[in-house]
Structure 1
Amino acid sequence: MEWGGGGHNLIGIIKGLQIEILENELRMLERLSEFATWVGKYPIPKDYSKKIPKSTPDGGVIPLTYVSIPTDKILIDEMFERFACILEMQRKN
């Protein structure tokens, strides 16, 4: 399976596994991909365009890595559980 992004493109990985991504999961995977790519290692991205603010679902504008929502952990846990269940069903078929 080829997903590109040096293994950091979480959306590509999940789509490559034939898992449908819900809208709220898509936004979270975009943010997590940014963190996996550079935020955990570097103080600033190598590519300045990664700091350019993007629109948020509530109409705001902020860089993906500047936002932390109190429900993030809940969503991540729910995503992981849902993806794990889907993969387990795929494995059994």
Structure 2
Amino acid sequence: MRRGVNLDDVFELYAVIHALQIHAQASIDYLLYTCAVLKKGVETPLRCVDELVREGLIKEEEGDTLRRMIRFRDIVVHRYGDIDVEKVRRFSKPAGIEK
């Protein structure tokens, strides 16, 4: 349990996943907007990240984080059944706290 959210409760777990999806989508929208303003002719968020890294506008490590976020969002939106619930639980658990 973290901050009053019980990740063993399926409803609460998927509410957290949905909130993460919304935040990821907002970041993706901002990335695509940034590439459009910079007149980068990219068609996908992943290509946008690649272009920003290539131009030196973001670091490779930042690009890797953004790519993982984009892939997470794609799984949540397009392959909801492929979500590894145990990974979400492990990721969401604060370090040093055992259930």
Instruction: State the TM-score, normalizing by the size of structure 2.
Output: 0.30
Rg (Cα) greater in structure: 2
Q: As a proportion of its length, which structure holds more helix? A: 2
- Structure that is richer in strand per residue: 1
